[in-house]
Each structure stands twice: as C-alpha cells, then as structure tokens.
Amino acid sequence: MNKVEIADQMAAAAGISKTQALKALDASLDAISGAMANGDKVTLVGFGTFSVSERAARTGRNPRTGEEIKIDARKVARFKPGKALADSVQ
C-alpha cells in the first residue's frame, strides 16, 4: 500500500475528498518528521511510537575488498508498534 492508497482509504472513511485526505496525510507526516528532527518522541496510542536513537561509531568491513572502514555515529529513526497494532497483525 502506498501513500495515495492510504489517502484514498482516509477519504472514504472520513467522507472528504481525496485531495483533502492527501493534504491531511502530508500534514501528519510532516508533523511527525518535524518532531523527530527536533529529537522528540511521537506516540500514537494503540498504533506505536516513533523515536530517534543514536547509533554509535563503529568499525565495519568493505564486503568487496575485506578492508576495514570507519562508520560514523549517526541518528536513526525507530518505530515500536503499540499493543493494538501488534495484536491486529497476529
């Protein structure tokens, strides 16, 4: 399922136009992205939690040459599903 298909389902469920649903979906994703960019955690009760975590610097290996390379520390996005979502998938 892609973003347009999600917006179509939102439009049908909410009784709004597809354009309005797409704008609402974009606004929601922008709000989540913006909060995460600021280092905040976003919790949608029953769905899950979006958060940012730090990945430490480490030494890796180039699979082609076997040469050791340094991998810099970085921030990564995380998602932990909520109980209701996890139960609905099983």
Two tokens, residue 63: 């699979």
pLDDT in tens, 57-67: 999 999 999 99
The answer to whether residue 90 scores a pLDDT higher than 90 is: no
41-90 CATH pick, 1.20.1530.20, 3.40.50.1980, 1.10.287.3510, 4.10.520.10? 4.10.520.10
The per-residue pLDDT for 61 is: 95
Confidence at 72, pLDDT banded by 50, 70, 90:
very high
Q: At what angle do helices 18-37 and 3-14 cross, to 10 degrees?
A: 120
Q: Are 25 and 10 in contact (CB under 8 A)?
A: yes
Domain boundaries, the chain: 1-39, 41-90
Amino acid symbol at 68: E
d(CA 28, CA 41): 14
